């Protein structure tokens, strides 16, 4: 199997650079970043940033959802914030997301349909803006941006983040979109001030970039 052959070559290359590489890697992980991304195979987060093992803690699911009823996601978030004490949480969406398209078009798969329901509701909330766009792909890509912003809000309004802000040690939260047409990432604006006014975000939360 070529995957195992590639793994062997990868390990050999690292050992040539540093014979103690895996001994050091086995000690502990101290990532600065938690990235929540889509399961899409075209968005390999670690390699896209030339990141070494141990630099980025990653959680992935269809259409990069931060569902506050998903114990898998909540466990990752809690461990990242409370134990690893990451500095930054980055919600990563991407253009041409099949999950986002499926939320609108449907896929006739009960579990997937259920998982994508929050994106479908997001589409309905922003239907006026989205339906004014010129074609379906622009609609889907803009919805991918809106979804990344919405999932960032879910992180910020989670009890895990609220407790972290109360303790005075918490990560900053960003929303990025991967432009699959160029290979580059874009930073999306988060309306933190507005979210604070309506009580979604802890009033003590302040963005930091250290």
- Is 40 noted as a catalytic residue in this protein? yes
**The 3-state secondary structure of 54-90, one letter per residue:** CCEEEEEECCCCCCCCCHHHHHHHHHHHHHHCCCEEE
Buried b (16+ CB within 10 A) or exposed e, 69-79: ebeebbebbbe
DSSP 36: E
The strand pairing partners of 91, in sequence order, are 36, 175
Q: Which position among 40, 59, 174, 202 bears the catalytic label?
A: 40
> Residues 171, 56: contact at Cβ < 8 Å?
no
Q: Which residues contact 56 (CB under 8 A, 6 or more apart)?
A: 31, 33, 34, 35, 45, 46, 49
Q: Which position among 13, 20, 88, 94 bears the catalytic label?
A: 94
- Is 38 noted as a catalytic residue in this protein? yes
Q: Which position among 38, 59, 142, 174 bears the catalytic label?
A: 38
Please tell me the distance from the alpha carbon of residue 16 to that of residue 12, in angstroms, as a whole number: 6
Q: Which position among 18, 42, 138, 208 bears the catalytic label?
A: 42
Q: Which position among 59, 97, 142, 174 bears the catalytic label?
A: 97
- Is 141 noted as a catalytic residue in this protein? no
By annotation, the residues acting in catalysis are 38, 40, 42, 94, 97
């Amino acid at each position: 199997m070529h995957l195992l052959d590639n793994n062997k070559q990868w390990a050999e290359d690292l050992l040539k650079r540093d014979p103690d590489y895996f001994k050091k890697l086995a000690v502990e992980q101290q990532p600065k970043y938690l990235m929540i991304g889509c399961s899409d195979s075209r968005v390999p987060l670690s390699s896209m940033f030339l990141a070494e093992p141990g630099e980025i803690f990653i959680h992935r699911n269809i259409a990069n959802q931060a569902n506050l009823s998903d114990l898998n996601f909540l466990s990752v978030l809690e461990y990242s914030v409370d134990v690893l004490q990451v500095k930054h949480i980055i919600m990563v969406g991407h253009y041409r997301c099949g999950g986002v398209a499926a939320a609108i078009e449907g896929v006739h798969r009960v579990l997937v349909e259920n998982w994508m329901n929050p994106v479908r509701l997001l589409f309905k909330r922003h239907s006026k803006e989205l339906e004014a766009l010129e074609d379906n792909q622009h609609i889907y890509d803009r919805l991918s941006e809106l979804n990344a912003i919405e999932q960032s809000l879910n992180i910020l309004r989670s009890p895990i983040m609220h407790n972290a802000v109360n303790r005075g040690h918490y990560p900053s939260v960003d929303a990025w979109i991967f432009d699959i047409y160029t290979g580059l990432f874009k930073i999306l604006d988060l309306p933190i001030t507005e979210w604070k006014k309506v009580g979604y975000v802890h009033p003590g939360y302040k963005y930091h970039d250290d």
